Structure 1
Amino acid sequence: MSSDSISNPFVVAAPLIVATTYAFVVIMCWGSGHTAELIALCTGYVSAIMAACVFNASAILVYAVWIRRRRGEATSVTSLICHFLLERWRVDRGLSLWQPLLTFIVLMTAFTFFKQSALRGAGFGYGPWFADADRTLFGTDPWRITHILFASPWSTQALDLAYHAWFAPMTLGVAFCAFAKPGSILSWRYLLSYCLLWIVLGSLMAYAFPAAGPVYFAEFQHQAGRFAELSQLLASEDATLRMHGASGLSALTYQQHLLVNFKHGTIVMGGGISAMPSLHNALAVLFACVAWHLSRSLGRIMTGYAAIVWIGSIHLGWHYALDGVVAFVATIALWSLSGLMIQSARGRLYAKPWLSRSVATAMLAGTLWRRRRERSR
């Protein structure tokens, strides 16, 4: 491997280790008596990631065949597949291929179960606080601003489609990591950040600051009037769209589906209700972070998409505006942390002058503080 790749297998496997540790804690604390649900979730996520792998592999194969034919080289799909698998086995015994897939399965099974078991008992007590914070920051409820800017039902339909298209890169991105160059630093940072977002934001912070989105305000806060106008407006736009032959707002269908499952206590893929912080927004920001490392053009596109997801999360009543702001700050912090971690693992972190000075200053301050305490005794 080159000097710009990761060769230590324990570092390469760090995302899987993090995901497995998280899953172990979740299952030990809340998994008793839920074996059937866990198996069903695991099976569902195996199917999802394998479908993403088939899609990615097909696209890569088509591209590889096209390139070789342009060069006038003999092409065989079977030989390309065999060469790829043999090369992965030679380099790292296939670790770079199966580790992202297994990480996704373990992480998403544990998170989905956690969200519908542990988070269910946390309540939604912070909803009114976030709603008031939004009104203070923006001078009014932010959804009123978005519905002025995007007043047409067709604008709402576009935001709805863009918002829910997020599920594709959420899975395809992990599958692409399996086909990346073995030891790829970018794919490692993406996968580790991906795990940390679901664990730190989606689990720890969501449990510490439990809240449901504005569309559920009347259901869980018993204040029917606070966001009733938003719900009525979305229902009216949905009816208008369907009357004109459009598919309507899938957000309303999903929101009702989540509420029914929550009330019945069923555990299903994609289930659970939680608003703060927004993982939709967090992962959209993560997509943008990776895109900027690939090209400026792609970075601009994905940054624009992240902004659309934030607007859509407010416009469709899924989230408070503050949910997306917190998600943005936390995602940038975790992405930066992943960069520091990989530099540390490769022995380059402490070669940075600014960090060396910071560490030396901290060590000196600690020494002086200890001496002062000893003298005071």
Structure 2
Amino acid sequence: MRTLVSSLNEVAEELVKDKLLYYFVLLTCIVTYVVYGIYQDQVVYQYQFSDYLGRLSICLKALFFSWSFFFYFKMLIKKEERLFYSYYITLKGMLSPASKVVVFISRVMLLNICLANYTYLKQIIPDIHAFRFDELFYQWDLFLHGGVSPWVLTHELFSSPYWTMFFNFAYNLWFLLIWGSFLYFMWYCKNEYNRQSYLLSFFMTWFFIGGILAVAMSSAGPCFMHLLYPDKTMYLPLMERLSNQVDTFWLLQIYGGETSQLQEYLWQSYSSRSTDIGAGISAMPSMHVASSVLLALGAYQINKKVGILLWCFAIIIMIASVHLAWHYAVDGYVALVVTVVIWKVAQFVVGKVGVKSKTQEVAMDTV
């Protein structure tokens, strides 16, 4: 009985550490509910909490198998004789104490609610604030890049289809890195200040940038401009160039991860007003860039060398987003600035509630 009470107290203490996450997710629910209440007669999408929970569980399973695969080869390199025993001991250590598992499940649920709210706002953009700023962002791109569309510059610098293949691969690698980072900070990170700062920033980035700002700055993106506005053909040469590279480059055909397939899927989902998972389209600001910048900011706090590498990855994603016709360049610039602001705000708030940074802890220890 005493052990049970002790375990429950331990769980309660760990859950209290996440109070900022609970408050923020509650805020996302209130905002989403208010938006739904105002526009319920105009929207066609249904809220999909259960669907996203199922999709999230699939992602977690995929990441678990990826980790197992990595662990297996790591043990082979180390020439570990008792491979399965080491695997068992490592898993056992990861799943103890029990409070760690309970907190993990609660954080996964919080993430699912936040992402469901973000996705709902993204999907109803055409209903509550129809795409209207695409041409404006096109003009901004011209103004900032000497009268030349940024995609022209990227395709001059990276003209080979091998670069298009590389950028496609980077866009797919983004998924593993972003969700792997969330698992790291949710599960492995021992510095509570870094953990809470990253998780709060992660939630804020997806909801504020991917939801609120996406509604306020509604735009579809270069790959959809000519489909939404048949007289706006500024990006048709880019789309034709990408299509030609796919048709003529055998490696892109074999790879199957090229973006034109996903762009076609998203457009068909939009046209049919489908409620499929991930059906919404939105360009400004770029969530790929925002989440990649956040990944670099968080990683730099843990390991400066890894952080620098991930800053390079964020730059690659910013270039790729333009090169592959997903985004206007200004989508990435805005995402970069707002993400840094969110990161600083999250660090400030986490520090205000009493979670000390590593520097503060060292300073206190030396007093």
TM-score by shorter chain over 0.5: yes
CA distance in 2, matches of 1:159, 1:113: 28
Match of 1:45 among 56, 61, 73: 56
How far off its partner does 1:305 sit? 0.6
- 1:102 deviates by 1.7
What is aligned with 2:95? Answer: 85
Q: Check 1:303–1:76 CA distance in 2 against 1; reply closer, same or farther (3 A cut).
A: closer
- Rounded to whole Å, the distance in 1 between the matches of 2:111 and 2:79 is 32
Matched ranges for 1:37-116 at <5 A: 37-56=48-67, 59=70, 75=85, 77-78=87-88, 80-87=90-97, 89=98, 92=99, 94-116=101-123
Which stretch has the larger CA shift, 37-46 or 261-270?
37-46
Structure 1 residues 347 and 55, CA, compared in 2 at 3 Å: closer, same or farther? Answer: closer
Provide, for residues 246-303 of structure 1, a one-character-per-residue CA deviation record: whole Å limited to 9, x for no partner.
4366111111110000011112222211111000000010111122112222112111
1:12 aligns with 2:45: no
Equivalent position SS for 1:48: helix
Once residues 183 and 171 of structure 2 are traced to their aligned partners in structure 1, the CA distance between those partners, rounded to angstroms, is 21
Deviations 1:148-188 (A, max 9, x none): 00011111111111122211122222222332256632222
Name 1:195's counterpart in structure 2.
203
Determine the structure 2 residue equivalent to 1:206.
214
Structure 1 residue matching 2:249: 3-state secondary structure: helix
Q: Deviations over 1:25-52 (max 9, x none)?
A: 4256439796684432332223223432
Identity %: 22
Residue pair 1:49, 1:104 contacting (<8 A) in 2 also: no
Alpha-carbon distance, 1:319 to partner: 0.4
> Any conservation in 2 of the 1:45–1:108 contact (CA below 8 Å)?
no
How far has the Cα of 1:66 moved from its partner? 9.1
Q: Highest CA radius of gyration, 1 or 2?
A: 1
CA 1:203–1:245: 2 relative to 1, 3 Å: closer
Aligned to 2:168: 160
Normalising by structure 1, report the TM-score.
0.79
Alpha-carbon offset, residue 104 of structure 1: 2.2
Q: Is the 8 A contact 1:53 1:175 kept in 2?
A: no
How far the C-alpha of 1:110 sits from its partner, in A, is: 2.3
Measure, in 2, the Cα distance between the counterparts of 1:286 and 1:141. 27
Q: Does 1:171 align with 2:179?
A: yes
Q: Structure 2 counterpart of 1:44, which letter?
A: R
- Write out aligned runs for 1:26-41 (5 A): 26-27=32-33, 29-30=35-36, 37-41=48-52
Q: Which runs of 5+ in 1 are unaligned?
A: 1-6, 353-377
Give me the CA root mean square deviation.
Answer: 3.2
Deviations 1:61-88 (A, max 9, x none): 9869998969x9x95654554454342x
SS at match of 1:166: helix
Using structure 2 for the length normalisation, give the TM-score. 0.81
Tell me whether 1:271 sits opposite 2:282 in the alignment.
no
User: Aligned pair in 2 of structure 1 residues 96, 182: CA closer, same or farther (>3 Å)?
Assistant: farther
Q: Give the 5 Å matches for 1:185-334.
A: 185-242=193-250, 246-247=254-255, 250-334=258-342
Structure-1 separation of matches of 2:187 and 2:296: 20
For 1:46 and 1:20, the matched residues in 2 are separated by: 22
1:123 corresponds to 2:133: no
CA contact (8 A) 2:287 2:335 kept: yes
* Higher mean C-alpha displacement, 288-297 vs 132-141: 288-297
Q: Contact (CA 8 Å) 1:45, 1:109: kept in 2 or not?
A: no
Structure 1 residues 230, 68: closer, same or farther in 2, change over 3 A?
A: closer
Shift of residue 21, structure 1, vs aligned partner:
3.5
Q: Is the 8 A contact 2:222 2:326 kept in 1?
A: yes
Greater shift, 248-257 or 143-152, is seen at 248-257
Contact 1:116/1:272 (<8 A) preserved: yes
Distance (Å, rounded) in 1 between the aligned partners of 2:52 and 2:210: 17
- Residue 365 of structure 1 aligns with which residue? none
Q: How many residues align?
A: 340
Unaligned runs of 5+ in 2: 1-12, 361-367
1:146–1:311: 8 Å Cα contact kept in structure 2?
yes
* Range with greater deviation from structure 2 (42-51 or 55-64): 55-64
The whole-number CA distance in structure 1 between the counterparts of 2:28 and 2:89 is 39
Contact in 1 for aligned 2:225/2:235 (Cα 8 Å): yes
Q: Which moved more, 1:103-112 or 1:279-288?
A: 103-112
Range with greater deviation from structure 2 (326-335 or 60-69) = 60-69
Question: Shift of residue 240 of structure 1?
Answer: 1.4
Kindly tell me: are residues 78 and 142 of structure 1, through their superposed partners in 2, closer, same or farther at Cα, counting changes over 3 Å? closer
Provide the rounded CA distance (Å) in 2 between the counterparts of 1:243 and 1:289: 34
